[in-house]
Structure 1
């Protein structure tokens, strides 16, 4: 029998998140690290709002693709006119114009994604109601359509924290997820990203601090109002998130007794 034995930690949720690294302490338990946020939008006695960066799109890649496709579209159209010289009919010009229209549409989509589509999908935690609200966009392919907004809400007691580390080149770095389980079980029914950090050494600890902050706040304890990175990150511009729907704005920012008074 060996003198020492070490058991590898195993995920407790079913199913575990892909590329799992660590389970966070339960949100009702004392937290093991000091609470600290990267960024903060609103903090008061009723609700907390933090900005959340959209990770579904490689924003810099969209800009590069948009520029490259724009140049290609112009070159394709010019090539059609040049090749038509000396030929009967206009089929080369038609091909050039058709390609120009198709590639211009793709370039418009990429450039609109970079310059117009909002990147901030905030989270709100209402400690009077003990609920979390997740603001998300439903992506559409057509560049001229506005992305519809969806709001998901869950009981905070059903939310567990998990840290993963995807190995993909474009999505590398530790990520903190909230995993929603069926009440009283470890069976996951939904997941949402809370924060992401691509820095190697300190990022895992910083994500633990973010989880600690959310838990301490929802436990009605005192938290520090100043985040460690004031302002908005440069690559989160050019637009802020759209307004919350009126009904969800009221619910997510008020205590239950306020809603009864309003009725």
Structure 2
């Protein structure tokens, strides 16, 4: 069932429609030829799907040095003005030059880190035996471009029954511009429509709905309900990367040992 008015408090930015809940019938049948990636892994215990917060990578890594060079022009102009014996720049001009230097410097560092700090994959695991979802998330903070703690990957665990998928559509100035369509997953307070967390699930509505349908089918019926994919899974950590600087510098996926073991196993009979 697709809902015409938002169910959640608050809906995602650019909300377009709510997708069926975790235990409801899927809205679409997965069709492998139109899906970008096959599952990373699927067996009787868990399904792992590839995921990426940053859709297009490689441009920012080459654009960042250019922006950093631009950030040097205002201070060089200020110094040259003083060295040439001209009058000392006014406060207004000095502030303007400072802003003209900081803006490209911040933007250059931000797009460099967005391009090179995101892991090669941000997989999401659906454990049918535990009814848990394990998300490898890339965290970033544009207000702290030099911070180590504010940037990087972390693994988070959610209850399957508390997830809710939303189709979103917003106009953005980055990438190809124009309309940007995504599917996001909201984490709800148990038994309510109150959102306590939200994260990106997939780019493009058609693919996002199909990947969500795959998760639903797996969690509801098991791996036999999933379609067969004509090509093998992609080895994100060991793929051969030649010309994409951002992907060459990107960290490999490394799940915390305890979460990695838990996400791939069934509950213990004694715990």
Aligned to 1:21: 16
CA deviations 1:123-163 (Å, max 9, x no partner) are: 11111111111222332535484734332211101111111
2:218 matched to 1:217? Answer: yes
TM-score (norm: length of structure 1) = 0.71
Structure 2 contact 116–247 (Cα < 8 Å) conserved: no
1:180 pairs, out of 184, 187, 193, with 187
Residues 21-60 of structure 1 aligned to structure 2 (within 5 Å): 21-36=16-31, 37-39=35-37, 40-55=39-54
Count how many residue pairs are aligned between Structure 1 and Structure 2. Answer: 240
1:162 pairs, out of 163, 166, 172, with 166
Residues 96-135 of structure 1 aligned to structure 2 (within 5 Å): 109-110=109-110, 112-113=112-113, 116-119=116-119, 120-135=121-136
Tell me the distance in 2 between the aligned counterparts of 1:205 and 1:112: 30
Structure 2 residue runs of 5 or longer lacking an equivalent are 86-93
TM-score (norm: length of structure 2) = 0.69
Tell me the distance in 1 between the aligned counterparts of 2:147 and 2:168: 35
CA distance 1:229–1:69, shift in 2 (3 Å):
farther
Tell me the distance in 2 between the aligned counterparts of 1:104 and 1:187: 39
Structure 2 contact 67–105 (Cα < 8 Å) conserved: no
Structure 1 contact 118–241 (Cα < 8 Å) conserved: no
| Equivalent position SS for 1:162 | strand
Aligned to 1:237: 247
Tell me the distance in 2 between the aligned counterparts of 1:52 and 1:258: 32
Range with bigger deviation, 218-227 or 43-52: 218-227
2:262 matched to 1:251? Answer: yes
Aligned to 2:64: 66
What's the RMSD between the two structures over aligned residues? 4.0
Structure 2 contact 188–197 (Cα < 8 Å) conserved: yes
Greater gyration radius: 1
Deviation at residue 31 of structure 1 after TM alignment: 2.0
Structure 1 contact 51–122 (Cα < 8 Å) conserved: yes
Structure 1 contact 132–153 (Cα < 8 Å) conserved: yes
CA deviations 1:191-229 (Å, max 9, x no partner) are: 1111012xxxxxx33322111111001112521242789
Aligned to 2:229: 226
CA deviations 1:164-199 (Å, max 9, x no partner) are: 1112333732211112222222222221111012xx
Structure 1 residue runs of 5 or longer lacking an equivalent are 1-7, 88-94, 198-203
| Equivalent position SS for 2:268 | helix
